[in-house]
Amino acid sequence: MTTTINKTWTDEELLALSSPEHRYELVNNELVDRGLSGAEPGYIACILTMILGGYIRQNKLGMICDASTAFQLNNGNRRSPDISFVGRQRLQGLKRPPQGFFPGSPDLAIEILSPSNTVAEIHDKIADYFANDTRLVWLIHPDEKYVLVYHAPAPEKLLGLTDMLTGEDVILGFTMPVAELFTEWDF
């Protein structure tokens, strides 16, 4: 759902809008309600956050964030990837994460398709990340069970169940089987 606005929002006003039922982004002066994504995308996000976050923390590579973290991009947009990573280099000078929006873009933005996403919306979001210095994007397709890897607004690789997802030069040394994102419950 997109609501057109005719005002300049302060960070405080935007942050005050957030609630457990709504995730807002500000895109080209339009307030965008991202809503909720559902159980399956949330579950995949948790699996990936645990695995990737453990690796990042153990190796002191930077900060991993969930969808509640919004980035104030250089073009003024406020974007919230489903999962994001900010490397140590972009965190220099900070002792803790900022209270409000993170200034700049993540090094890695991860989006997990949900039933409410449109192709145009996801394409615009990925283009926005790269226009603002994001280095890598993973787009996860739960229904089709694959991951698209982007280094620019067009995807470069499609990784299936038998492939390995890697952090490339953004999260050096990180690898995991794509299949781990889509495993059936074994409990």
In what helix (H) or strand (E) does residue 17 lie, and over which residues does it extend? helix 11-17
Give, rounded to a whole angstrom, the gap between the first and last alpha carbons of the chain: 37
Q: What tokens appear for 124 in the block? A: 């615009």
Q: Does the pLDDT of residue 49 top 80, yes or no?
A: yes
Q: Does the pLDDT of residue 81 top 80, yes or no?
A: yes
What is the per-residue DSSP string for 26-60?
Answer: EETTEEEE-----HHHHHHHHHHHHHHHHHHHHTT
**pLDDT-derived band of residue 181, with 50, 70 and 90 as boundaries?**
very high
CATH pick for 38-182 out of 3.10.20.600, 3.40.50.2300, 3.90.1570.10, 3.40.50.720? 3.90.1570.10
Instruction: Output 49-55 pairs: Cβ under 8 A, ≥24 positions apart.
Output: 49/83, 51/176, 51/180, 52/83, 52/85, 52/167, 52/171, 52/174, 52/176, 55/167, 55/171, 55/173, 55/174
Q: Does the pLDDT of residue 44 top 70, yes or no?
A: yes
What is the residue type of 168? E
pLDDT tens digits, one per residue of 160-171: 999 999 999 999
Question: pLDDT at position 1, please?
Answer: 46
What is the residue type of 82? D
**pLDDT-derived band of residue 68, with 50, 70 and 90 as boundaries?**
confident
Strand partners, 79: 71
Q: What is the mean pLDDT of residues 134-144?
A: 97
**pLDDT-derived band of residue 145, with 50, 70 and 90 as boundaries?**
very high
How do the domains of the chain map onto residue ranges? 38-182
In total, the chain counts a number of residues equal to: 187
Strand partners, 26: 31, 78
Question: pLDDT at position 26, please?
Answer: 64
Q: Determine which of 8-12, 93-97, 138-142 has the lowest per-residue pLDDT on average.
A: 8-12
Count of C-beta atoms within a 10 Å radius of residue 102: 22
Question: pLDDT at position 126, please?
Answer: 96
Pairing of strands 2-4, 30-33: antiparallel
The HSE-up count of residue 154 (CA atoms within 13 Å, CB side) is 1
Q: Does the pLDDT of residue 23 top 80, yes or no?
A: no
**pLDDT-derived band of residue 143, with 50, 70 and 90 as boundaries?**
very high
Pairing of strands 108-112, 83-87: antiparallel
Question: pLDDT at position 39, please?
Answer: 81
Above pLDDT 70, what percent of the chain?
Answer: 81
User: How remote is the C-alpha of 84 from its chain's centroid?
Assistant: 4
Q: Are 37 and 112 in contact (CB under 8 A)?
A: yes
